[in-house]
Structure 1
Amino acid sequence: MWYQVFLWALFSSMFVHIIAALIAFCRLRKHKIGAAVAGLYRAADFEMMPFYALVWGVGQSIIVSFVSFTRILATL
């Protein structure tokens, strides 16, 4: 029984995240600041290595977790 629950939770979570990622990628193309950052990287001829992308992603996750757990936003 736990295996079936696990599989349904896994696939439903994957479905929701894939749809959300597609929407986010489509919306990022029209975002002014996102386009500016992408233009900056392209104009600087900077090649982002996979490790740098990993560091940016992990860093953003840590910052979001820190802000959400410390309730900094509730004090503003």
Structure 2
Amino acid sequence: MDSGANSENVFASLHVVLSGWWNGQQLTKFRDIWWWIFLWALFSSIFVHSLAFLISICTLHKHKQGRWYCLSFVVMGLFTPFTQGVISSALIAGVFVSMGWTIGPKYALLCGAGQTAIVVLVSGSRLLQTL
């Protein structure tokens, strides 16, 4: 019965984070800061990689082997946030907690989406080396 309460709590928390509604309170606990930053990194990564998947499937749908390349976007859209996103969100949250700083939900959005932007920039810069 306790696991059901935890899953409801996670989904309620997920709704609060993604709706941006937080009563103007500041995030002070490590768990809250990490969770907000991680969720924004996860969903911004899924959004960006879904767009890349749609663009690539539209352009490579007739290519014999290229259409399978599109699946790498889906895999990386989930793999990156669950590895790099978890670690970097925890590091950012740890810095804020150790300094005694609090952050607002909009700054957590900026940190999470910023992680995705950095991944996209680094991935784009490596693309030119393969051409």
Same fold (TM over 0.5): no
TM-score range, shorter chain: 0.3 to 0.5
TM-score, scaled to structure 2: 0.27
TM-score, scaled to structure 1: 0.39
Higher relative contact order (CA 8 A, sep 6+): 2
